[in-house]
Chains A and B, each alone.
Chain A
Amino acid sequence: SQELEQSPQSLIVQEGKNLTINCTSSKTLYGLYWYKQKYGEGLIFLMMLQKGGEEKSHEKITAKLDEKKQQSSLHITASQPSHAGIYLCGAGGNRDDKIIFGKGTRLHILP
Chain B
Amino acid sequence: EAQVTQNPRYLITVTGKKLTVTCSQNMNHEYMSWYRQDPGLGLRQIYYSMNVEVTDKGDVPEGYKVSRKEKRNFPLILESPSPNQTSLYFCASSLTPSGGSYEQYFGPGTRLTVT
By a beta-carbon cutoff of 8 Å, the part of chain A in contact with chain B is: 1, 29-33, 35, 40-45, 48, 50, 88, 90-94, 97-104
Q: Contact check, A92 vs B48: say whether CB atoms are below 8 A apart.
A: no
B91's nearest neighbour on chain A, judged by CB, is A42
10 contacts between A and B (CB under 8 A): A31-B99, A40-B109, A41-B109, A42-B90, A43-B104, A45-B104, A48-B102, A88-B43, A90-B43, A97-B97
Tell me if A50 and B101 are in contact (CB < 8 A).
yes
Whole-angstrom distance between the Cβ of A107 and the nearest chain B Cβ: 15
CA distance in complex: A29, B92 (Å): 21
B65 touches A (CB below 8 Å): no
Taking the complex as formed, is B98 at the interface, i.e. its CB lies under 8 A from any CB of chain A?
Answer: yes
Residues of A within 8 A of B42 (CB): 88, 101-104
B103 touching A33 by the CB < 8 A rule? yes
Nearest first, the 9 closest Cβ-Cβ pairs linking A and B are: A92-B100, A31-B100, A103-B42, A101-B43, A30-B99, A42-B106, A43-B106, A97-B97, A45-B103
**Chain B residues within 8 Å of A, Cβ to Cβ:** 31, 33, 35, 40-45, 48, 50, 56, 58-59, 88, 90, 92, 97-109, 111
**Looking across the interface, which residue of chain B has its beta carbon closest to that of A29?**
B100
Is B48 within 8 A of A98, CB to CB?
Answer: yes
CB distance from A41 to the nearest CB of B (A): 7
The closest CB in chain B to the CB of A46 belongs to B103
**Residue ID in chain A nearest B99 by CB atoms:** A30
Indicate whether A33 sits within 8 Å of B106 (C-beta atoms), given known contacts A98-B59, A99-B97, A102-B42: no
Name the residue of chain B whose CB is nearest to the CB of A34.
B103
